[in-house]
Structure 1
Amino acid sequence: MPRTLSDERRDLTKAIADFCRRECGTKEQRDKLTANGQEQHNQKLYGKMAELGWLGIAVPEEYGGAGLGMTDLCLFLQETSYGLAPISGFGTTIIAAAAYEKFGTEEQKRTVLEGVVNGRVEAISMSEPGAGSDVGALSCRAERVDGGYVINGQKTWCSNAHFADHILLIARTAHGQSKHEGLTQFMVPADADGLQIRGIDTMGGRDVNDLYFTDCFVADSAVVGVPDRAWTQLMAGLNLERMILAAMMLGVAQRAFEDTLTYVRQREQFGRPIGSFQALKHRIADMATELECAQLLLDDVAAAIDAEPGRVFAREASMAKLKCTELAKHVTLEGMQMMGGYGYATEYGMEALLRSTVVSTVYGGTSEIQRDIIGKTYGL
């Protein structure tokens, strides 16, 4: 189904697609850029995108960005994901940057937002060994001292911390009547004394980290927003985080679908292409239909956010995240099944797409959490 895009947006998607084909369009290129799939971010490629002005697509013009909205950001994310560009640092960077834009001091904004435009990477750290979906259970402590705070504790599953400039840390600074009270956001340099960053090996390569804070001092100027009010600040960023993940995974799902379609058209068994058999033809039809539905949902929610940028679309953003991540996992699993043994071969790439989609139903709020949020918006 053709999408209705303005000439500017059509030109943008074409330029990104051309760039990805040229820079990372072959498996050989991607292997070289990612250390054979072990690294999900290539800073040199990222820098080229910065020079083209793409990384500042959602950054306000006063900080050197393009000042565009959610629709344009989703177009960029979807197209680069489809093109398999190894720029995993971008998602966490934009999530963190939005928090600094909304709540940071002018100095923090200048440092981070101008850095984003110039190709710098940011990270955000919420999860702990005992606090994942239950963010209010955080125990990493920031104690008030003269001139600042001393941080002690452990964080985990922090994406991209090993090559980020700063970590937007959510730590406990007080205990209130509610477990969501007493949380504060801090801008912590990734090379701060008392901070150790240790990689976690996963089936997707090195992308996430444990963070260990031992008497790590940060000045008062490191506080982002209002002390003890981080929970409210985090809620203001839910639209962005969920839409980023939805757009990325829809791009991956579309790539997996196209790769599967190419395979079933070319692979022959019993004297004809396997895609001509009803069992596979109907599965292709179902996936294509679901992808169109997901695209319409993503576009509609993005347009709604652009129309009312100050509003939190809890239900709609959760629906987009739920639909696109679950669909991406389904499409890659179907691709593996239809490609048979070749689906497991690194040469064909479907197994790498599967690895990238399976985790997407966990991070950024699990599918179960998204369903719970959606249900609550109906009074359940």
Structure 2
Amino acid sequence: MPRKLTDERRDLVTAIADFCRREQRVKGEPHDQVVYEKMAALGWLGIAVPEAYGGAGLGMTDLCLFLEETAYGLAPISGFGTTIIAAAAYEKFGTEEQKRVVLEGVVKGRVEAISMSEPGAGSDVSALTCRADRVDGGWRINGQKTWCSNAHFADHVLLIARSSQEESRHRSLTQFMVPTNADGLQIKGIDTMGGREVNDLYFTDCFLPDSAVVGTVGNAWTQLMAGLNLERMILAALMLGVARRAFDDTLTYVRQREQFGRPIGSFQALKHRIADMATELECARLLLDDVAATIDAAPDQVFPREASMVKLKCTELAKHVALEGMQMMGGYGYATEYGMEALLRSAVVSTVYGGTSEIQRDIIGKTYGL
């Protein structure tokens, strides 16, 4: 069904689609800085950045439209997701200098990263062990972080480290702004199905001045909770775009591919699967649009149930549609030439990062008193 958009939003979607058709990358690295900076020049990367820092100052609905359309259009801008998550933390809790550096950098096409996971701590954030010890004039960081997306081409890493040994493990975490060229920080890539996307970070007596603290010492957990809406909506919007792309590519294939004298899409076994996927895509889109509008109406409120629902729905749907697409395309779905396998790789990992599907279900269940 047609999406009900204002003229301004419709124009934005059309412009993004036209841009992506010109700059589309089926193969290659997930982030192309040249393309990224072209988008910056058009003002798109600052879509959710306050006007005071050079951005457009728009809300969740506009941000989700941008994310969905760039994902659908295969734009090689993988650095944007982590950038906008980190930027929002600096906007809410950072000093004026931190805001100026990061937010103005976002508008110009700079990339930011955020690092929370460790080899022994993923879903359980309270188990973090990377240490931030007070020293004269600042902090000394020691420990390892892992699965840090985009750190290898980011300007800074928003680090969550343990700054004290208080009994309350959630009340002893602090956020730090760490330049990626800081002495004592080693960034080492992790080989994945998607290529070089994530990294191990090794901190060895990495000194950070007091000015590197983001927000309040010992308050990182509360600060992280304030950003849950944004992180989950970003991932949901990206994966809705991936799901739409996988669906459209599959539909094109089953309309054109003939076996036994007719298009394979005319066979009931495939026709009904297409119908089911189309219906689920509409449901996911309506959910995303509704939650985005809800957040825009109350931007300072956290919606744990709704944000987890939309992240769960869109990521699991993207995985399902890409798997179905690969099955319907047969050997061609497995071939790198056709791109379905790349969509599947993107979709599968989305059900893990940003809080696994199991964690999202647990959060949703807790909101019902379970």
- Alpha-carbon shift at residue 30 of structure 1 (Å): 3.9
**What does residue 101 of structure 2 align with?**
111
Confirm or deny that 1:8 pairs with 2:17.
no
Which residue identity lines up with residue 46 of structure 2 in the other structure?
A: G
Residues 32-54 of structure 1, C-alpha deviations (whole Å, 9 max, x = no match): xx2xxxx2100000000000000
**What does residue 292 of structure 1 align with?**
282
Contact between 2:26 and 2:339, CA under 8 Å: does it hold in 1? no
**What does residue 143 of structure 2 align with?**
153
Q: Secondary structure at the match of 1:181?
A: helix
Listed as ranges, the matches of 1:1-380 within 5 Å are 1-24=1-24, 29-31=25-27, 34=28, 39-380=29-370
Contact between 1:96 and 1:123, CA under 8 Å: does it hold in 2? yes
Which residue identity lines up with residue 156 of structure 1 in the other structure?
A: T
Residues 8-39 of structure 1, C-alpha deviations (whole Å, 9 max, x = no match): 00000000000000111xxxx543xx2xxxx2
Q: Secondary structure at the match of 1:58?
A: coil
The CA distance in 2 between the partners of 1:358 and 1:175, in whole Å, is 36
Q: Secondary structure at the match of 2:171?
A: coil
Alpha-carbon RMSD across the aligned residues, in angstroms, is 0.6
Residues 198-243 of structure 1, C-alpha deviations (whole Å, 9 max, x = no match): 0000011100000000000000000000001100000000000000
Q: Secondary structure at the match of 1:293?
A: helix
Contact between 1:322 and 1:361, CA under 8 Å: does it hold in 2? yes
Contact between 1:51 and 1:118, CA under 8 Å: does it hold in 2? yes
Residues 344-367 of structure 1, C-alpha deviations (whole Å, 9 max, x = no match): 011111011101100000000000
Which residue identity lines up with residue 360 of structure 1 in the other structure?
A: S
The CA distance in 1 between the partners of 2:30 and 2:168, in whole Å, is 38
The CA distance in 1 between the partners of 2:190 and 2:285, in whole Å, is 33
Residues 274-328 of structure 1, C-alpha deviations (whole Å, 9 max, x = no match): 0000000000000000000000000000000000000000000000000000000
Residues 47-83 of structure 1, C-alpha deviations (whole Å, 9 max, x = no match): 0000000000000000000000000000000000000
Q: Secondary structure at the match of 1:149?
A: strand
Aligned residues: 370
The CA distance in 1 between the partners of 2:275 and 2:26, in whole Å, is 30
Q: Secondary structure at the match of 1:228?
A: coil
The CA distance in 1 between the partners of 2:356 and 2:168, in whole Å, is 23
Unaligned runs of 5+ in 1: none
The CA distance in 2 between the partners of 1:205 and 1:272, in whole Å, is 38
Identity among equivalent pairs (%): 85
- Alpha-carbon shift at residue 339 of structure 1 (Å): 0.5
Which residue identity lines up with residue 156 of structure 2 in the other structure?
A: H
Which residue identity lines up with residue 74 of structure 1 in the other structure?
A: C
Runs of 4+ residues deviating >4 angstroms: none
Contact between 1:175 and 1:181, CA under 8 Å: does it hold in 2? no
Contact between 1:57 and 1:66, CA under 8 Å: does it hold in 2? yes
Which residue identity lines up with residue 133 of structure 2 in the other structure?
A: E
- Alpha-carbon shift at residue 175 of structure 1 (Å): 2.1
Unaligned runs of 5+ in 2: none
The CA distance in 1 between the partners of 2:355 and 2:218, in whole Å, is 22
- TM value normalised by structure 2: 0.99
- TM value normalised by structure 1: 0.97
The CA distance in 2 between the partners of 1:225 and 1:30, in whole Å, is 40
Residues 171-193 of structure 1, C-alpha deviations (whole Å, 9 max, x = no match): 00012232211000000000000
The CA distance in 2 between the partners of 1:3 and 1:23, in whole Å, is 25
Which residue identity lines up with residue 271 of structure 1 in the other structure?
A: G
Q: Secondary structure at the match of 2:120?
A: coil
Which residue identity lines up with residue 207 of structure 1 in the other structure?
A: E
The CA distance in 1 between the partners of 2:312 and 2:252, in whole Å, is 27
